[in-house]
Structure 1
Amino acid sequence: MDAREQLFNETQRKRIERRDIWERISENGTIAAAVMVVAAIAAVICANSDAYEAIHHILMEPIHVGIGSHTMAISIEVFVNDFLMAIFFLLVGIELKYEMTVGELRRPRQALLPMLAAVGGVVVPATIYMLLNRGSGSAQGWAIPMATDIAFALGVLSLLGNRVPAGVRVFFSTLAIADDLISIAAIALFYGQAPDLMWLVSAAVVAASLFMLNKTQHYRLAPYMVSGLVLWVCLFKSGVHATLAGVIVAFAIPARSGIRLDNLTDWLRGYMPELVDSYDEDAHILGQHDFTHATLGAERVMHRVSPPLVRLERKISTPVNFIILPLFAFVNAQVRLVGVDVVQLALDPVSMGTYFGMLLGKPIGIVGVTFLLVKLGIAELPSRVTWRHIVGVGILGGIGFTMSILISGLAFPAEPFEMLAAKAAILAGSVSAAVIGMIYMTVACKKAKRP
């Protein structure tokens, strides 16, 4: 029995063991991706059953939010896509800030290759989409095939286990993060409504107050969360896509500890005798006021060791991965094919542009830019990463779900058939990229290990 286990009785130890098991499950990206896949499959099944009308009616039901006379009504579908997805964007923003602070994006030279490869993986799919939709009136969906779903793609890659070199995972993770940055920028610049100046100015003021909280070293999460909620309302009313509030809040939250870590060890060493001296093993804990007061002081200090950014990530990562994203998948993967001409749907320019943009555009763009940069001597492949691996990364980059479906809803809000075509192609393209990429990487990793 280790020292930590000696602190708890048998009942508490069992509870801690169960919590540790749940934490390992919740932190597993493959399981999280599988839950979202199940939700998407359930959505497609429900959409093509007698339950469709009832589900659609529920999703259109309004939710009234506000205080007194200051209320607004949004449908359940809008609540999921605009509010809950803002929390997803908050998690994405946290990951981006982490990478820019201590991750690969902190070292521009090492991050240059996957970041520029991500640009290629965005430009080529968008170009293919535009070429196939030239003159069709559906050009506004150009951004649909350009997004890579981090959860799905890395989940598929993780199925290969240790056969994939660490350099491939780092390259792919950095590429997917850069891809997210570009997708977020595209949503902000091209898929909002005509902005309302008053609400936009209000959003700017709230955003400034968030960064002022950071600058004045406020380390409690509550002020950031309240301000973030106000920011979401301002952006929602302004016409700019409200999910961007999550990214802004993430970049405003401090990534530093609330205490001076270089003095922590000395403080603990000096504080421990006070704890030991104030403890009376013969007295009930309720009567040990000096001891409980001393432990409270230690709790307050130790709580500040973890940066607010880390504390927030711990709080929202599991709800995002196991509640918000599966709910988003269920709400938005309602691909109803009953009464639809499947051949017409498959040959629709939106379907073809989305499908081939994902399946061909991603690998062509990622591999092409990587090859060009390496051959020109601007960058070099990471250690133990081969061209076979880069091709596999390019294929897996075609797995697009969360961002792609979100953009399809923004691109075709009043065109149900085009939205259906886009969503069907996203599902088909993602499945194709996952299966082909998995098979290819399995073969490529075996060949790479041969002497």
Structure 2
Amino acid sequence: MPAVAKRCARRRGLAWIFESGTIAAAVMVLAAVVAVVVANTDAYYPVREFLEQPLAITVGPFVASITIEAFINDFLMAIFFLSVGIELKFELTAGALTNPRQALMPILAACGGVTAPALIYTLFNWGGATGGWAVPIATDIAFALGIMSLAGDKVAPAARVFFSTLAIADDLLGIIVIALFYGQTPSVPWLVASAACVAVLWALNRLQVYHARWYLLLGVVLWACMLNSGVHATLAGVILAFFLPVKSDIKLGNVQEWLAERSGEMDDAYDPEMHILGQHGLTKTARRVENIMHRVTPPLQRVEGAISVPVNFLILPLFAFANAQLRVVGVDPLSIIDDPVAQGVFFGLVLGKPLGILAVTATLVGVGFSPLPEGSTWGQMLCVGVLGGVGFTMCILISGLSFEYGTEQLAAKCAILAASVTASLLGLVLLNVVHAVERRRSEKGERMGEKGERAAA
């Protein structure tokens, strides 16, 4: 028994680690820090050479090849976008976005949080590198929520939901921007093939096919078609997510009765004197129970459960490592600081995000469209706006699409890292300050109330 208890405790510990957004964010940050360190040593050149190595699949005369770096940025990040799409579909189906009026406020705030950074960037780069206007528009969901989780109960639950919804809407807007402005010259045959894949996904959903493997297989084919079509291939992940079924093909009302019958069968088949390998009746029934219980969970949740740990602890750290290779050896730091691209990205994230989010939120509250989230304050909304400036993953992805390798991309990535760190630290400090001020006000109000009661008595 002690050995069994230790194994169970170890599994619970691993489950807690893998479910912690804070730890996932820390792993991604660590990967970025390692990348920056490696980029400024002699290891930079072999690492770059490795990332540029091709991965090839050969079937007869057919050869498909992609570099390791492109595989990370295009294929693995499509899996990340699949997780984003799943989260968005969940919120639309059973979460915060089911109530249109309640969901519209953070969605509109996200629009403000996209518009203001783009305008600030454009002002800094008027007549120059305006093509990078979209670099500072995005919020990193995993990173920002991981930072917010460090605040514990200092943030009202409704404010957390507001920020989660805002971050999801923000990423959706980023995805739309990538689709509209950062594709290549489209290839009509591959676009037709992509549309055919989408049509088959729609048919599977309408025919109520609940085996996730068919959707995933078609998702890979869709990704390959979109990679060659000129549309950014990572969007295949979002498209796939919206066709994954959200229902179960098992009648949930009958599950309990069916399980009770199977439990009786297993009790009858169990022989305490026989080894488990010889108890075929029991294990056969157990396999039936496992199959049914597996099918109780909708495919959307099954896929989410399968990819969440790889996304948080493998894909995002790999992406951070591959794209945070900022080699500043021999580069004048002042030249980066003075670069309009760096200034536009940094101030777009650190100032534009909170300004845009707060301006739209204040306007909606002022006109009576919706009150602040229950239990939240303007101080907490300020903290939400500041943490919106944590734009690590999506911003780096868009910077790679906006600029070729060179000084502009280096300046943009340096600014993204600096802004994300600044927004994280500033957001945490503000959360603690706001919480302390609000607690003092609450305590003062309680003391005044007690004095008033004593005076009245």
1:122 aligns with 2:114: yes
Greater mean alpha carbon deviation, residues 278-287 or residues 438-447? 278-287
Name 2:166's counterpart in structure 1: 175
Amino acid aligned to 1:36: M
Correspondence for 1:205: 196
How far did 1:17 drift? 2.5
Partner SS for 1:241:
coil
Alignment-mate amino acid for residue 425 of structure 2: V
Residue of structure 2 equivalent to 1:407: 398
The Cα of 1:254 is off from its aligned counterpart by 1.1
Q: Which runs of 5+ in 2 are unaligned?
A: 443-457
Match of 1:217 in 2: 208
RMSD: 1.3
Aligned to 1:296: 287
Separation (CA, whole Å) in 1 of partners of 2:249 and 2:436: 47
- Give the structure 1 partner of residue 321 of structure 2: 330
Amino acid at match of 2:408: E
How big is each residue's C-alpha offset from its partner over 1:44-63, in whole Å with a ceiling of 9 and x where there is no partner?
11111111111111111111
Q: 2:245 is paired with a residue of what secondary structure? A: coil
Letter in 2 for 1:17: A
Q: What is the SS of the residue equivalent to 2:41? A: coil
Distance in 1 of aligned mates of 2:299 and 2:415: 40
**What fraction of aligned residue pairs are identical, expressed as a percent?**
54
Q: CA deviation at 1:73?
A: 1.5
What is the match of residue 41 of structure 1?
A: 33
Residue 299 of structure 1 aligns with an amino acid whose one-letter code is E
Equivalent residue for 1:375?
A: 366
- The structure 2 residue matched to 1:429, chosen from 415, 419, 437, is 419
Q: What is aligned with 2:69?
A: 77
| Residues in 1 aligned to 2:284 and 2:417: alpha-carbon distance in whole angstroms | 57
1:152 and 2:143 are equivalent in the alignment:
yes
Tell me how far apart the structure 1 counterparts of residues 345 and 312 of structure 2 sit (CA, whole Å).
25
Mean CA deviation greater in 93-102 or 15-24 = 15-24
Helix, strand or coil at the partner of 2:311: helix
Q: Which residue of 2 aligns with 1:64?
A: 56
Q: What is the distance in 1 between the residues matched to 2:216 and 2:11?
A: 26
Pairs within 5 Å for 1:16-415: 16-136=8-128, 138-413=129-404, 415=405
Q: C-alpha displacement at 1:258, in angstroms?
A: 2.4
**Which has the higher mean CA deviation after the structures are superposed, 49-58 or 284-293?**
284-293
Q: TM-score, normalised by structure 1?
A: 0.95
Once superposed, which parts of structure 1, at least 4 consecutive aligned residues long, lie more than 4 Å away? 9-13
Distance in 2 between residues matched to 1:232 and 1:411, nearest whole Å: 21
In 2, the alpha carbon distance for the partners of 1:24 and 1:252 equals 30
Cα–Cα, structure 1 residues 35 and 284, in superposed 2: closer, same or farther, change >3 Å? Answer: same
Letter matched to residue 393 of structure 1: V
Bigger drift between 308-317 and 264-273 goes to 264-273
Deviates more, 1:66-75 or 1:257-266: 66-75
Is this contact kept in 2: 1:115–1:178, CA < 8 A?
yes
> What is the deviation of 1:66?
4.3
Deviation at 1:446, TM superposition (A): 1.5
Residue range with higher mean Cα deviation, 336-345 or 174-183: 336-345
- Distance in 2 (CA, whole Å) between partners of 1:180 and 1:441 is 23
- Counterpart of 1:440 (choices 427, 430, 447) is 430
| Alpha-carbon distance between aligned partners in 2 of 1:446 and 1:175, rounded to the nearest angstrom | 25
TM-score, L = length of structure 2 = 0.94
Which residue is equivalent to 2:406? 416
Q: How far 1:427 moved relative to its partner?
A: 0.5
Asked if 2 retains the 8 angstrom alpha-carbon contact of 1:112 and 1:379, the reply is: no
Aligned mates of 1:237, 1:155 — CA distance in 2? 35
Q: Are the aligned partners of 2:154 and 2:431 in contact in 1 as well (CA < 8 Å)?
A: no
| Whole-angstrom CA distance in 1 between matches of 2:425 and 2:241 | 34
Which amino acid in 2 is paired with 1:314? G
Pairs aligned (count): 441
Out of 270-279 and 205-214, give the one that drifted further: 270-279
Cα distance, 1:274 vs. partner?
A: 2.1
SS in 1 for 2:326: coil
Displacement of 1:71 after TM fit?
A: 1.8
Distance in 1 of aligned mates of 2:243 and 2:114: 27
Deviation at 1:292, TM superposition (A): 2.1
1:286 CA drift (Å): 2.8
Q: CA deviation at 1:10?
A: 5.3
CA distance 1:67–1:12, change in 2 (3 Å): farther
CA distance in 1, matches of 2:25, 2:61: 41
In 2, the alpha carbon distance for the partners of 1:347 and 1:127 equals 19
2: CA distance between counterparts of 1:356 and 1:253? Answer: 39
Contact 1:167-1:385 within 8 A present in 2 as well = yes
